[in-house]
Structure 1
Amino acid sequence: MFSVILYGRNDSHGYNLHKRAAISFNALAEVMSDPDDEILFVDYNTPEDHPTFPEAIHDTLTDKAKKVMRILRVRPEQHAHLKSKTHLVALECQSRNVALRRSNPNNRWILYTNTDMLLVPRTEGESLSDILGAVPDGFYQIPRFELPEMLWEAAFDRRDPAENLRKLRDWSVRFHLNQVVHNFMPMKYDALGDFQAALREDMFAIHGFDEEMVLGWHCDSNLAARLALYRGRVDTLIDKLFGYHCDHTRVAAANNKGRQTKMNDQDRYIWDVSTPYLPAQAETWGWPDVTIEEVRLDRETSYQRFTAGLDAAMEPATVPYTTTSLEWQLYDDLSYDLPHTLPFVCDQVLTFPRSTSVMIVATRAEFVTRFAKAWQGMGFSGTLLVPDECEGLPTDLPNVKRGPFKELIGQTHMFIFEFGLATQRADEPVRRGRLASPVDEKRLKAVAKLFRQAASTEHETRPAGRRLPRRFIGVNVIYNKYWPLFTDHIGANINPFCSQVLAGIPREDPSLRGKVLRFRGRHAV
């Protein structure tokens, strides 16, 4: 019957976002009763190394919410062409159009709302699907009622939407919450963007939201102005439905800077609108030619992919724990526990597109073999690129491509540089004062040389059309002689030694090189 369209990203927009959103997702699912109903959440520009926002809070969602939710992930690289035009990290019009293009064609209605709304049918037991199924064609709005922060934050159970809706029916009367705030037409009510129900065919006819609006604010008002022209009127569902907004004004959101807030021009996009149509974007709205990843919470999860990859690459431990040491005299010992380290490497790549091509520059054959198994087990289809300059590595692994470094680098989406000892045995104790052999030194020198080349030429060697820097993952680069090398070139956090892994993108300011880590003797300080 209807598709709810929402957008956001995995950040902390506004106040207590995770709870507000979980409350809202579950409440929206609760008032769905048609088998075609869906929640379309566009996860826009979440950093590559993060899961989508709904994945991050999946444990707080009901089974029904997970079943009806489709997550459409817009990657940072897909936003990059708009980055210079806006101060915002998530764009409303693009997000809503991406979802509209991919919405269920069986649904008659598109409902635009936000991730902190609860919709309460006035007739108890009636669903929103019932309501929208019975009303005539049109364009509908409802007023937004504010819900004080203390009520939703302290009194709502995220996973009990039925009880939350029951409480709202009670509180709205006891605490006088229902105040209708009228607005200038075609914005029938204040904050109209929290409920606008339009026919799906109407939204296609007028070419969706206006994608020129990249400064934030008034996107919903522009849509109302255009649909009012297209339909000839704006109707209301106030006799059938109330909408409550989880107020979150204690902390200003990123797009709210008081009088300094940047906004789309009101005259151009509201008062001077004279046509419902957007002919300039008639063929391009919603990015029809762009492949958008879809994630489903009721199917294979990221956690399941992660554990499947690790299970494919290693056996369970046979001892309660292993040991290592940070003692200064071990600084030159490059031995490390590979099975312990591999989960942290996989953790760095899991959230990237499955088609990602990764260059592996390594010394230890076992590292390449295990990672290739984990890569395949995690469901990746991208190629693992291994330069010919790396000697002694396996050549017969599935989905591994060998070739000269200079030919492979332009096909690479991500880099893994592993600084280990090629001669280390699988059962050998680690960091006991072991020194590198001549074979080890030769292979380490080759890895370090290719690392410097890749980091210093990253911008010039990106695949065609790529705008954003590529990610570099360093394995066994904490508290040894390759720590300063890696962090001189790559902006990485100072991670615990236990993880053995650092990751980041190349530094833009070469003047920082050599100043990242200071050493006193052989100790980093």
Structure 2
Amino acid sequence: MFSVILYGRNDSHGYNLHKRAAISFNALAEVMSDPADEILFVDYNTPDDHPTFPEAIADTLTDRAKKAMRILRVRPEHHAHLKSKTHLVALEAQSRNVALRRSNPNNRWILYTNTDMLLVPRNEAESLSTILAAAADGFYQLPRFEIPEMLWEGAFDRRDPAGNLAKLREWSIQFRLNQVIHNAHPVKYDAPGDFQVALRQDLFAIHGFDEDMILGWHCDSNLAVRLALLRGRVDTLIDKVFGYHCDHTRVAAANNKGRATRMNDEHRFVWDVTTPYLPNQADRWGWPDVTIEEIRLDRETSFQRYQAGVRSAIEPATAAYTASTLDGIHYEDLSYDLLHTLPFVCDQVLTYPRQTTVMLIGARPEFLERFATAWQAMGFTSPVQVPIECQQRETAPPAGLEIAPFVDLVGRAGLFIVEFGFASQQTHDPVRTGRRASPLDQAHLKIVERLFRLAAATEAETRPAGQHVPRRFIGVNVINNPYSRLFTDYVAANINPFSTQVLAGPPVAARTAKGRLTRLRDRYTSVVGLGSMRKPRLKPMGRQ
């Protein structure tokens, strides 16, 4: 019957976002009764190394909400062409149009609302689905009633939507919550974006939201004006349903800077609008040619993928715990517990697109083999790239690897993993006991270091064509040892606990201005295509 369209990202927009969003998602699902009803959440511009917002709060959602929800993930790479034009990290018009384009074509209605709204049918025997089924063709709005923060934060149970709706029916009387705030026609009510219901066919006809509105505010008023022009009137459902908003003004949201707030031009986009149509975006609204990932919480979850990957690559522990040490006398000992470390590496890559290509520059063969196994089991579809300069075994490489010269791979990599370990270390060797690098270990590490420096220093120049977001580097065994400083010289990584053995971040742009980088480029000119003074001297590692 209807598709609810919401948008957001995995951040802390406003106050106590996680709770009010969970309350809202569950309450929306509670008033759905048609099998075709759906909640479309556009997760816009969440960093690639984060899960989507609904995934992050999935444990607080009801089964009903998970079944109804479709998550459409708009990656930072999709937003990159707009980044220089707006101060916002999540764009309303683009988000809502992406969802509208991909909404269930069998649904008659589209409901635009936000992630802190609860809709309460005035007749408890009715659902929103039955209300909309009986509604005549048109464009409908509702006034927004505010819920004081203490009520929703202090008394609502995220996973009890029926109970929350019942409380609102009582509290709306007890606490006098229901006050209608009128606005100028055709906006009709204050805060119109919290409930706008229109026919799906009408929204397609007028080409969705205006995607020129990238500064925030007035998007919903613009839509109201255009739908009023199309339909000739604005109707209300106040006789059938009330809409309540979880007030969150204790902390200003990112797009609310008081008098300094940047907004779309109200005259251009609201009062001066004379046509419902947007012919300039008729062929491009909602990004019809962009492949958008869809995630379903009621099907395969990220945790299930993670679990499958790690379980395929390591064996369960046979002891209650293992041990390592931060003692300074073992600073140069690069031995580490691979079976303990691999789960933290998998955690770093899981949220990337499944077609991502990862380049693994490493010294320890077993790490490569176990990671490649986990990578495939987590559902990634591209092979793990391994520079031939790092290849050690004479036998055929494991399945799922692409082995080629570094220069042939670096321009296609979407992600880098760099591992600094002892090639000679075996799985169950004791760790951090004062072990020193053998000549063979030193040879492998030297090649890993050179390739890492080159990959990080030239990341912008070797980035795949059309990609605007810097590629991430994940360092393995780069905490509290001689490679800690090297890695953080080239990568903007946070400080992590030693136990994880993992640091990660984008390359440090300032490195490109350093003199030794210029010398490094000169030495490997053929790799970055800056000339052919001489070929790199890198050779395959010694065979074992």
Aligned to 1:25: 25
* Cα offset, 1:21, TM superposition: 0.2
Q: Deviations over 1:234-283 (max 9, x none)?
A: 00001001000000011110000000000000010000001000001101
* Cα offset, 1:398, TM superposition: 2.1
Write out aligned runs for 1:500-511 (5 A). Answer: 500-510=501-511
Aligned to 1:417: 418
Distance 2:396 2:459 in 1: 26
Distance 2:465 2:341 in 1: 33
The answer to whether residue 308 in structure 2 is matched with residue 308 in structure 1 is: yes
The answer to whether residue 366 in structure 2 is matched with residue 361 in structure 1 is: no
Aligned to 2:129: 129
The answer to whether residue 147 in structure 2 is matched with residue 147 in structure 1 is: yes
Distance 2:338 2:433 in 1: 16
Distance 1:290 1:513 in 2: 38
Distance 1:170 1:106 in 2: 36
Distance 1:398 1:229 in 2: 60
Write out aligned runs for 1:503-522 (5 A). Answer: 503-510=504-511
Aligned to 2:454: 453
Aligned to 1:194: 194
User: Structure 2: which amino acid aligns with 1:220?
Assistant: D
The answer to whether residue 237 in structure 2 is matched with residue 243 in structure 1 is: no
State the SS of the aligned residue for 2:170. helix
Distance 1:392 1:419 in 2: 15
Q: Deviations over 1:278-331 (max 9, x none)?
A: 001101000000000000000111111101001100110111111111111101
Distance 1:78 1:240 in 2: 39
Aligned to 2:211: 211
User: Structure 1: which amino acid aligns with 2:468?
Assistant: R
Q: Deviations over 1:38-85 (max 9, x none)?
A: 000000000111100000000000000000000000000110000001
Aligned to 2:443: 442
* Cα offset, 1:513, TM superposition: 8.7
Write out aligned runs for 1:40-59 (5 A). Answer: 40-59=40-59
Distance 1:362 1:481 in 2: 16
Write out aligned runs for 1:162-173 (5 A). Answer: 162-173=162-173
Q: Deviations over 1:112-132 (max 9, x none)?
A: 000000000011121000000
Contact 2:458 2:512 in 1 (8 A): no
- Over the matched positions of the two proteins, sequence identity in percent amounts to 73
* Cα offset, 1:494, TM superposition: 1.1
User: Structure 2: which amino acid aligns with 1:141?
Assistant: Q
* Cα offset, 1:425, TM superposition: 1.4
State the SS of the aligned residue for 1:123. coil
* Cα offset, 1:426, TM superposition: 1.5
Q: Deviations over 1:388-418 (max 9, x none)?
A: 1113157432221111101100000000010
Contact 1:120 1:242 in 2 (8 A): yes
Write out aligned runs for 1:329-340 (5 A). Answer: 329-340=329-340
Distance 1:37 1:10 in 2: 24
Distance 1:237 1:417 in 2: 58
User: Structure 2: which amino acid aligns with 1:427?
Assistant: H
Structure 1: state its 5+ residue gaps.
Answer: 515-525
* Cα offset, 1:383, TM superposition: 2.1
Aligned to 2:405: 404
User: Structure 1: which amino acid aligns with 2:73?
Assistant: R
State the SS of the aligned residue for 1:492. coil
User: Structure 1: which amino acid aligns with 2:430?
Assistant: P
Q: Deviations over 1:414-461 (max 9, x none)?
A: 000100001111221111111111110000000000000001100000
Write out aligned runs for 1:144-293 (5 A). Answer: 144-293=144-293
State the SS of the aligned residue for 2:59. helix
Aligned to 1:429: 430
The answer to whether residue 125 in structure 2 is matched with residue 102 in structure 1 is: no
Q: What TM-score, normalized to structure 2? A: 0.93
* Cα offset, 1:512, TM superposition: 11
Q: Relative to 1, partners in 2 of residues 1:382 and 1:230: Cα closer, same or farther, differing over 3 Å?
A: same
Distance 1:155 1:513 in 2: 57
Contact 1:391 1:443 in 2 (8 A): no
Aligned to 1:521: none
Distance 1:395 1:360 in 2: 17
CA RMSD of aligned residues (A): 1.2
Structure 2: state its 5+ residue gaps.
Answer: 516-544
Aligned to 1:517: none
* Cα offset, 1:359, TM superposition: 0.2
State the SS of the aligned residue for 2:418. strand
Distance 1:327 1:427 in 2: 21
Aligned to 2:72: 72
The answer to whether residue 16 in structure 2 is matched with residue 7 in structure 1 is: no
The answer to whether residue 367 in structure 2 is matched with residue 385 in structure 1 is: no
User: Structure 2: which amino acid aligns with 1:155?
Assistant: A
* Cα offset, 1:174, TM superposition: 1.1
